[in-house]
């Protein structure tokens, strides 16, 4: 009997610990779903401010608004971190048409890619050469490309379940297409939008000229998937058709903006930092609700939900709203640089930048031992249908914080509809579901709670596995 009692007490302790964690997660989810703030914040960010391109007035309005809202939460500290960002402006609405050999024109939907130069005054019109990618373009050579508009028409691969993989499989033509075509004497580039469905919306996104001299820099625009299909079909019938497009975008001098930061100071380990964040900037065609207003308001709500749930963190929990993810990563670079300069120990960094859709789980960049510890918490998330705990990439803004001993991670919502809206005019508030958004905020908060409670050091007792 003497030996049985300690064993019974040990088993009881395991059960109480597990129940406490389960009850805490239930409180977090209930609070988010019945008393969340993320949807209200996103409504204002999207409908009262709108698209928040780096360097724009709207971006600065977003900085002021989110700082004010964080201050209302009664955090221990809220501040702005200055960062110089690029200022690219779209100018007047772009215009394009296909001209057949008989002189008949058909208007098509395009938008300038972020960072592109303008067309010559009055636009550019030329014959079109269609390619499926950069390798095919290079193989054609200067003789077949010079003086023409290059049309990159490789679609996202529809049978890839992880849509971000499909995006990664063809985004190089958008990013570097103009650079490579310019070297071969092309006069312009049109790129099929990064979109898995057929519609009339062109999707913008960043592009680069690299170190290309100004004389070889050519205008670059995205064309809607419907119109890409149309252009390709017309080329198949008549190689002599021409494309005209006009855009007035320009790159201005860098301007100062800010990362927005708020924190709850840890009660036991204040020098160990856990951060959650998203990027406050967005493209200008829609209002940036999914990309990445959703991630910003979810991250803000993590700190609020911790306070509302009565959780007093052991470690310092920080929310960081990064500026300039879309066309420069200046905010992420500045934050990581200052963290290193101050010797801050960021043990865990979580980013939400994959839309406000139903959360499925997380992706972690960490070593095997730490991942095994995190994976042992999966059963706690099962009641909320969170099942995706995988090794892999994290997020563009938190990746610069990665070290050999810490963890960077990304929230992974269901991605099947994400690229319908990504960088397009339909990335608007009405396409974000309140419940899905709030489930994401609760899921992030729950993981932060567990990381804060148990840390990321190797498993030291069996209680942590019996959750």
DSSP code, position 206: B
Distance of alpha carbon 277 from alpha carbon 398, whole angstroms: 8
DSSP code, position 45: I
| Residues found in the chain | 467
Residue 196, token pair as written in the block: 């898995």
Distance of alpha carbon 353 from alpha carbon 395, whole angstroms: 7
Could you tell me the sign of the dihedral formed by the alpha carbons of 369, 370, 376, 379, in that order?
Answer: negative
Give the largest Cα separation in the chain, rounded: 99
Residue with tokens 């990504």, as numbered in its chain: 422
Distance of alpha carbon 455 from alpha carbon 250, whole angstroms: 47
Give the angle 119-123-125 at the CA atoms, nearest 5°.
110
Distance of alpha carbon 219 from alpha carbon 201, whole angstroms: 19
Nearest Cα neighbor of 298 from 72, 28, 37 is 37
The whole-angstrom distance between residue 121's C-alpha and the CA centroid of its chain comes to 34
Angle between helices 294-308 and 4-35 (to 10 degrees): 130
Q: 225-229 long-range CB contacts below 8 Å, 24 or more apart?
A: 225/155, 225/192, 225/193, 225/195, 225/197, 225/198, 225/199, 226/109, 226/198, 226/199, 226/200, 227/108, 227/109, 227/110, 227/200, 227/202, 228/151, 228/153, 228/155, 228/192, 228/193, 229/198
Burial class (CB in 10 A: 0-12, 13-18, 19+), 343: exposed
Which residues, other chains included, contact 437 with Cβ-Cβ below 8 Å and sequence gap of 6+?
A: 36, 38, 39, 42, 294, 297, 298, 356
- Spot the catalytic one: 325, 326, 351, 438: 325
Alpha-helix runs per DSSP H in 343-431: 368-375, 378-381, 418-421
Look up 438 and say whether it is catalytic: no
Distance of alpha carbon 228 from alpha carbon 234, whole angstroms: 10
Residues taking part in catalysis: 325
């Amino acid at each position: 009997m003497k030996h049985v009692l300690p064993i019974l007490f040990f088993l009881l302790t395991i059960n109480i610990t597990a129940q406490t964690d389960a009850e805490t997660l239930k409180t977090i989810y209930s609070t988010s779903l019945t008393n969340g703030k993320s949807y209200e914040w996103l409504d204002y960010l999207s409908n009262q401010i709108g698209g928040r391109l780096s360097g724009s007035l709207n971006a600065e309005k977003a900085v002021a608004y989110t700082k004010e809202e964080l201050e209302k939460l009664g955090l221990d500290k809220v501040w702005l971190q200055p960062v110089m960002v690029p200022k690219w402006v779209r100018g007047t609405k772009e215009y394009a048409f296909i001209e057949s050999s008989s002189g008949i024109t058909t208007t098509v939907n395009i938008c300038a890619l972020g960072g592109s130069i303008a067309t010559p005054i009055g636009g550019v019109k030329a014959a079109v050469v269609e390619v499926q990618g950069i390798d095919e373009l290079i193989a054609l050579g200067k003789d077949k490309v010079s003086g023409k508009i290059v049309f990159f028409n490789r679609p996202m691969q529809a049978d890839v379940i992880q849509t971000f993989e499909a995006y990664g499989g063809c985004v190089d033509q958008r990013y570097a297409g103009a650079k490579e075509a310019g070297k071969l004497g092309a006069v312009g580039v049109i790129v099929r939008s990064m979109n898995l469905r057929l519609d009339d919306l062109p999707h913008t996104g960043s592009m680069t000229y690299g170190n290309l001299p100004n004389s070889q820099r050519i205008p670059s625009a995205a064309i809607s998937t419907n119109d890409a299909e149309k252009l390709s079909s017309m080329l198949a019938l008549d190689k002599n058709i021409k494309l005209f497009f006009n855009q007035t975008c320009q790159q201005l001098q860098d301007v100062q903006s800010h990362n927005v930061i708020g924190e709850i100071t840890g009660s036991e380990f204040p020098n160990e930092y856990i951060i959650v964040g998203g990027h406050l900037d967005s493209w200008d065609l829609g209002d940036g609700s999914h990309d990445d207003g959703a991630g910003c308001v979810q991250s803000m709500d993590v700190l609020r939900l911790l306070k509302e749930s009565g959780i007093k963190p052991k470690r310092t929990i920080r929310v960081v709203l990064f500026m300039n993810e879309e066309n420069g990563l200046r905010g992420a670079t500045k934050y990581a640089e200052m963290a290193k300069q101050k010797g801050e120990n960021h043990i865990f960094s979580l980013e939400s930048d994959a839309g406000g859709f139903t959360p499925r789980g997380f992706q972690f960049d960490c070593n095997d031992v730490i991942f095994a510890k995190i994976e042992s918490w999966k059963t706690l998330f099962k009641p909320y249908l969170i099942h995706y705990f995988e090794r892999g990439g994290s997020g563009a803004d938190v990746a610069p914080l990665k070290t050999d001993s810490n963890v960077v991670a990304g929230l992974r919502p269901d991605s099947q509809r994400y690229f319908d809206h990504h960088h397009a005019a339909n990335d608007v508030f009405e396409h974000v579901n309140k419940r899905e958004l709030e489930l994401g905020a609760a899921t992030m908060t729950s993981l932060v709670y567990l990381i804060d409670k148990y840390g990321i050091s190797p498993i030291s007792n069996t209680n942590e596995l019996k959750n």
